[in-house]
Structure 1
Amino acid sequence: MSRFRAALQASLTATKRALTWNVEDLIPPSERFIFNFNSKEELKKWHLYSDSEYGGLSSASLEITDTGTESSNTGIFSGNLSLDVTAGSKWNISRSGFCGMRSKKFDGFIDLDPYDTIALKLKGDGRCYISTIYTENWVNSPGQEEDNSWQAFVFVPKDDWYIAKIPLARYLPTWRGNVIDAQMEMNPSRVLGMSLSVNAEGGPPGAKSGPGDFHVEIDWVKALRTV
């Protein structure tokens, strides 16, 4: 009988907990860390790319600062943007002067459907950067098997920490860096990865542009629910 009473009590306790749930228990937290650049382990999640893969001469690196305290470490994405092209390159590229850091694909997907904004804590050099979200390709047609990419500009003021908040609605569909004129909606529940990149040319008035060094410090990337 004691075993029966124990099982009955456990059932009653579980039922009581279920009845005391409220709406807040079912709502995801108001923010979610996606990346946190406080450990050298973070470097394993990223790979670098640049126009050097196509005959350009730009270069980039990604490092984690070593402050002695993990909570105060940050990532540093830096390098040099060049408009030059290697002589005799087999690649007939129309432009150079770009670098980026792209996350490796997540293990499956991450679901950002409960959120409406991407936030990045950055300290930069006055250049304009590009935040990209990669989602599962809905079309998946022959010859177009790349992930869908969605991009938004991020102007990073020079020398001071700045939290850039980008509504998901501001991310535009792109194809190989160019905005495409298509009636598409992002599927935030099927996010495969993200990237941060920089171009020697372009950006809002007042932003630093042109070839030369770039340097941006990254603390974290989060998803926020603001409404």
Structure 2
Amino acid sequence: MKRFRNSLYRLFDLQLSWMHSFLNTEGVVPDSSRFSLGESVAEMKYSIKQWIHENKTEVNSQYRNQAHQEQLTLFKFDSEEIVNQWASMGDAEMGGRSKSTLAFGTNKKLLWTGNVDTAVPRDGTTFQSGYVGIRSRPFLCSFFRTGVIDLNPWNTIEIRLRGDGRRYHFNLQIDEQFEQTYEDLFFHPIFTRGGPYWEVIQIPFSHLVLSNSGIMAYQTSPPERALFRNMGFSLVEHFDGPFRLEIDYIKVLQDDAHKQAHAYEYAGATHGYDFGTKYDKI
């Protein structure tokens, strides 16, 4: 019986490895020794059902795209469960002093607060400080794969927020397969006006700027919207003190009046294969 169970464990590992190579996606294959015989079979059945459902959803999304759905809400922060799908970070994790926290606010919106401290730690390697950020957590698909979202049918991002007058950055990270472009990030500045009133920000995809590890590319290319992995907000400031940003929703929409393919000069190569892209400091 033990030999039979070990054979099933090896089969479970082989099937997961084969599915990972077949689907050509990233993910973490779990150690089968943590699963009992029943759990292994149940996990395999669940992953197969989930994979079938994902393929049906993908086929349906093609018909949905042909129907030209005007907008799609990615995040509506009206519950603590949705807020928990995001994570906060700061340079305090790397020796700095800037910290931030995420919470479900009393007005039922995402509340991002914290403190920015530009004091550079005396470690001999850090030359700049004063960074905080939040981003959406990666979500898993069947067979422990990292999922992506297809944003090709739409051309504009819409965000409803209320800020404190600081300049924030909206970030969109693309799922890359190459090491040279894995840290690529598309961003756009958001100038909040402060005060008690909410504001709606619209960012066309053609206005996003490419950067890599905090260095901006001045010969960029438009993002591949089908490879969206996660999104977030960051604050890189030269002024110490507290900050506060509230977010109601993030959605994508199709603005038929916007015909621009790309707002900046670029070399013409498709993003992900242009290894000659030139970068400049932000």
TM-score (norm 2): 0.62
Deviation at 1:55, TM superposition (A): 1.2
Does the 8 Å contact 1:136/1:148 carry over to 2? no
Point out where structure 2 has 5 or more consecutive residues left out of the alignment. 1-62, 141-146, 257-282
1:218 to 244, 247, 253: 247
Q: How does 1:78-157 map to 2 (within 5 A)?
A: 78-87=113-122, 89=123, 92-107=125-140, 108-137=147-176, 140-141=178-179, 144=180, 146-157=182-193
**Superposition deviation, residue 86 in structure 1:** 4.0
User: After the TM superposition, which residues 178-189 of structure 1 pair with which residues of structure 2 at under 5 Å, given as runs?
Assistant: 178-189=215-226
In terms of fraction of residues, the more helix-rich structure is 2
Looking at structure 2, the residues matched to 106 and 191 of structure 1 have their Cα atoms a distance apart, in angstroms, of 12
Q: 1:29 to 1:52 in 2, by over 3 A?
A: same
> Separation in 2 of the partners of 1:137 and 1:81?
31
Partner of 1:50: 90
SS in 1 for 2:229: strand
2:183–2:213 CA contact under 8 A, matched in 1: no
Q: Return the alpha-carbon distance in structure 2 between the equivalents of residues 26 and 114 of structure 1.
A: 9
* Structure of higher RCO (CA pairs closer than 8 Å, 6+ residues apart): 1
Shift of 1:147: 4.4
Matched residue of 1:189: which SS? helix
Letter in 2 for 1:94: F
2:131–2:234 CA contact under 8 A, matched in 1: yes
Counterpart CA distance in 2 for 1:27 and 1:156 is 35
User: Aligned partners of 1:85, 1:220: CA distance in 2, in Å?
Assistant: 34
Residue aligning to 2:35: none
3-state secondary structure, aligned to 2:83: helix
Paired residues in the alignment total 187
Q: CA RMSD in A?
A: 2.0
Once the 2 structures are TM-superposed, how far is the Cα of residue 78 of structure 1 from its aligned partner?
Answer: 0.9
- Percent same amino acid among aligned pairs? 26
CA contact (8 A) 1:103 1:194 kept: yes
Letter in 1 for 2:116: L
Question: 2:159, 2:251 within 8 Å by CA — same for their partners in 1?
Answer: yes
Q: Deviations over 1:138-170 (max 9, x none)?
A: 5x04xx362431010011111210001011111
Q: How much has 1:35 moved relative to structure 2? A: 1.0
Residues 19-78 of structure 1 deviation map (CA, whole Å, 9 limit, x = unaligned): xxxx998324211111111111123211111111221100101111245xxxxx101111
Does the aligned pair in 1 maintain the 2:113–2:245 contact within 8 Å? yes
The alignment partner of 1:125 has SS state of coil
3-state SS of paired residue (2:84): helix
Distance 1:56 1:32, change over 3 A: same
1:54–1:93: 8 Å Cα contact kept in structure 2? no
Letter in 2 for 1:40: E
- Give the structure with the larger strand fraction: 1
The separation in 1 between residues aligned to 2:65 and 2:228, in whole angstroms, is 24
Is 1:195 the counterpart of 2:232? The answer is yes
Distance 1:173 1:38, change over 3 A: same
